[in-house]
Chains A and B, each alone.
Chain A
Amino acid sequence: MTDRIGRRAALATGGLAAAAVLSPRKAAASSTVVAAHYPNTWETAYRDVVAPVLQQRHQIELVITPLLAFDQVARALAQPRGRPPFDCFCLDPGPRRTAIERGLVQQIDRAKLPNLQGVSPGYVDEWGVGVAMQVVGIAYNPSRVEKPTGWRDLFEPKYHRRVAITGFGSTFGTVAMIEIAKAFGGSETNMEPAFEAVRRLLPNVGAVALNSAQLPSLFQQGQIDIFYTNTNNVAALKAQGVNIEFVQPDTGCPAFATTMHIHARSTVANEAHQYINVSLDPAIQAALQEPPPMFIPTQTRTPLAPEVAALVGSHDALSRFIQHDWGVINPQRSAWIERFNREVRA
């Protein structure tokens, strides 16, 4: 008898598990929005801050798929038909441009986003909305190295063996390399001075990281004391008790918006709009700018928190930070990545 119940229970459990595996979207309620987010900081912040509010206000369940921006676009490209892998993208400018060019995102309906009121027009277009700003600068360990002043310092002998660099595999690696090129007389279309600087640094480099995600752990392990990154990573490390400070380079900080987009084939576009709208809510943006994660609001109705204001000044000042033209950058990245491989190879 017990044997029989055991088998029945096992069959039922197995059946349920199989059903769950075969139809993950069906198992959830119809009002579910699957949103891709950068792993760790973003994923956690949106799960803790945005998801409960979305559930409470609109009875929408938020399911987060942690993926880097490039991986989101790759995943969406790999699934050209049928149900999309997720409903919302969370991208930075390079991958965003690819997503639009490849027809992966649908146009947004401004009428469904009342919280757009207060968002600077520069952060909104017909394809998506900026929900936070990323500001890129130099991070260093104040107890071990002198405060750097600008990009050129990274290549000074006093920082030898302490500096980590990363190439064009990430968005902020790319904008940092462009700023380095500019600091040595180059431009968005002339990367040569940056490559020359890297070549000079190589014998004394602390580390060359393949991607930006590896930098914080290298810093924490004392392998390096100075690297380029965004303010969110610095806030996250600080919250873990790591001795780290952020410096605005003397030539200015590059800044770019992290934008949300709706997948072209999403079947829950209305709910996705509600999700984006909640993300732009002044109260939500205020909650998200507490360190960590210390997301810099794009919503000007949200007053800047003291920690954020200390870094970027004001909403107005933020809008004057250095912007790059990704229409110029994207076509060159393949060649830059290849060149970087060749330059740094041991």
Chain B
Amino acid sequence: MAARVTMPEGRFMLAFPMLLFFGAFFVAPLLLLVAVSFFDDPDITVPGLSQYTGFLSDAFNWRVLGQTLLLGVKVVACTTLLAYPIALLFLAAGPRLRRVLLMLILVPLLTSVVVRTFAWIVLLSREGVVNSLLLSLGIVGAPVQLLHTELGLIIALMQIELPLMLLPLVSVMARLDPNVVAASQALGAGSWRTLVRVILPLSLPGYAAGVLLVFASSTAAFVSQSVIGGGRLIYMPLFVYQQATTLYNWPFAAAISVILVLAISLVAFGINHLGRSARGNIHG
């Protein structure tokens, strides 16, 4: 599926400033972070592995790592349920409705994630919109605890991360050849079968990209995790913050960051692999 368009050699030079930028502001700090994690003391003088052995030998930390990755999986699953219907609507829509939908998808991205997170406090609190609605409809007798629960956090993250899932999904849908869908139906497949056998497999590359973005973003969403999740739900980014900012133990903070980055990369690698094999199935 790789682009077969040949690129004149000189074009690569155009990417050089970007490479330089990434090298200086992304790769170099990352290497610095890794280097700092291999020191035993907060003053960064004694090299050693004690930060890693310290972190990994504690069952509590493993649970927190597991919970963090699990949170990512849960948010991805919920976002999927919300994103696919919208993407299918986009597929069925005409050009004008598509433009409106695209606008609606993009609008939340124009608001800062901090603002969106605080809006969710107003919605999820005991006297918030959600609880007032549930109470007035008689669905519950007393306010439901949503703020500072994992459910509330997943609801908020679902909305916050939704555009990251939708944008790649919608871009795949926009490129989907309508003739393929027409052919499927002409050959006798019903709507359901067309969806499952044709549209879903063809949308998988976009979906895989969306999964990757939502997973990485929600596992690292420190602001949402701490404000909506509260002090009782502990995820890896909080550990990093506590060690770096409150306790100034940078080697430990760096080691925790490296472990989190590795764990997320491992999952991302798996997703990427699945997306690639799915692509192979369609064309093979």
Contacts and interface: CB of A to CB of B under 8 A. Distances in A.
B231 A222 contact: no
A211 to B, nearest CB: 8
A118 B140 CA distance: 60
A73 B60 contact: no
B123 to A, nearest CB: 10
Nearest to B229: A210
Given A218-B125, A334-B249, 9 more contacts: A74-B248, A207-B147, A208-B230, A208-B231, A208-B232, A217-B118, A333-B247, A344-B231, A345-B232
A12 interface: no
Interface residues of A, number: 30
A25 B238 CA distance: 33
Contacts of B122: 221
A70 B245 contact: yes
Contacts, number: 73
B126 interface: yes
A46 to B, nearest CB: 23
Interface residues of B, number: 26
A44 interface: no
Interface in B216-244: 226-227, 230-234, 238, 242, 244
B174 to A, nearest CB: 33
A221 B128 contact: yes
Most chain A CB atoms below 10 A, which of B60, B122, B148: B148
Interface in A55-100: 70-71, 73-74, 77, 98
A223 B232 contact: no
A303 interface: no
A85 to B, nearest CB: 15
Nearest to A170: B246
Interface centre among B118, B126, B128, B246 (most CB of A within 10 A): B246
Nearest to B63: A345
A341 B148 contact: no
B177 interface: no
A214 interface: yes
